[in-house]
Homo-oligomer: A and B are copies of this chain.
Amino acid sequence: MKHYIGIDIGGMSVKAGIVNEEGKIICKDICQTFPDKHYSVMVKDMYELCVKILSDAGLRFEDISGVGIGCPGTIYAEKGIITFANNLNFHDTPLVDEFKKYWKGDAVYIENDANCAALGEYLFGSGKGSRNCIFITLGTGVGSGFILDGKIFAGKMGAGAEAGHMVIRIDGEKCTCGRRGCWEAYASATALIRDTQKAMAKNPDSLMHKIAAQYGKVNGRVAFDAAKQNDKAAKQVVKRYIKYIGCGVVNLINIFRPDKVLIGGGISNEGDYFIKLIQRYVNRYHYGGKINPRVKVVRASLLNDAGIIGAASLAMNK
């Protein structure tokens, strides 16, 4: 059986794992990142992490058929360059070439982390069996990855697949990107928390206050928890949030008409209850409701391993 290494670069740490051709992680580890230091430092740490997991797994360099790297930001995959990654101090960074100074193999690839996760889900997770699928991650922001005809579609120089920055309310809430009304400004966990806080301020008797106190803060779960206990104000927050998510999902369905839409990210931990609400919204509002094929909304299934498996799958898919 062939083995691959998947490397998942984050703001605080780098994770790496050895993944077999069936998409199973057989060994993984993590190391800290130092975004303030020169990128060559991180690359050296990445390489040493690879050496360590190889040793832990009892495998040699020759046993690895390829390495895939997932990284937030705009990635120019064909050139192996990180054009820009906001939290990581990367700017036109030739990460693949730098990594190859240590790793003496040709099969090293890099892609945006949401694109990697989309590919991982398509090959080994909830996206299996579909031809076109869309992966949405609902976290601090709203990320997206598109698998079209079995391949990542990322647009010119990898600068596409930014569905979080599709405006759903022209002149609406300010987005971190500078535009107003982006999907991300309504459907991210950040937006949910903002809306929860607003509803709490208006409803001093809401259960949300008690629940937030238990968590020690207002997080993305407060409104969901309270809604399940039939709190009226919380139910309104959840209803609005589902509508915002649904609006963007239906937009993407009308544009791509994929086989499946996969929902990942922290908010997807709300599980079946949450997914079913989105599915109901989609069934009701997708274009050509009675004629066009319905699209399944499913929870992404690789969860915390999506980063490593997704990155490794990048090397498998070449």
Contacts and interface: CB of A to CB of B under 8 A. Distances in A.
Contact of A157 (B154, B165, B293): B293
Nearest to A162: B254
Contacts of A179: 250, 285, 287
A204 interface: no
A190 interface: no
Contacts of A250: 167, 179
A148 interface: yes
Contact of A168 (B156, B168, B254, B287): B168
Interface string A250-291: 111111111100000000000000000000000001011101
A163 to B, nearest CB: 6
Interface in A151-186: 153-163, 165-170, 177-179, 186
A149 to B, nearest CB: 8
Given A177-B287, A254-B162, A255-B255, A155 B168 contact: no
Contacts of A115: none
Nearest to A177: B287
Nearest to A163: B255
* Best-surrounded residue of A163, A259, A285 (most CB of chain B within 10 A): A285
A84 interface: yes
A167 B159 CA distance: 22
Nearest to A291: B84
A250 B289 CA distance: 26
B170 A244 contact: yes
Nearest to A186: B170
B159 A251 contact: no
Copies of this chain: 2
B166 A254 contact: yes
Contact of A255 (B131, B162, B170): B162
A112 to B, nearest CB: 12
Contacts of A170: 168-169, 186, 243-244, 247
A133 B247 CA distance: 25
A74 interface: yes
A291 B160 contact: no
Given A169-B170, A170-B168, A293-B156, A287 B255 contact: no
Interface of A: 74, 83-84, 131-132, 148, 153-163, 165-170, 177-179, 186, 243-244, 247, 250-259, 285, 287-289, 291-293, 295
- State the 10 A-B residue pairs at the shortest beta-carbon distance, nearest first: A155-B257, A160-B257, A159-B292, A159-B257, A166-B251, A162-B254, A165-B287, A84-B291, A165-B254, A156-B257
19 contacts: A83-B291, A132-B156, A153-B256, A155-B256, A156-B257, A156-B258, A156-B259, A159-B257, A160-B254, A160-B257, A160-B258, A163-B255, A166-B255, A168-B169, A169-B169, A177-B287, A179-B287, A252-B255, A255-B255
Given A159-B287, A170-B244, 4 more contacts: A160-B256, A162-B255, A169-B169, A179-B250
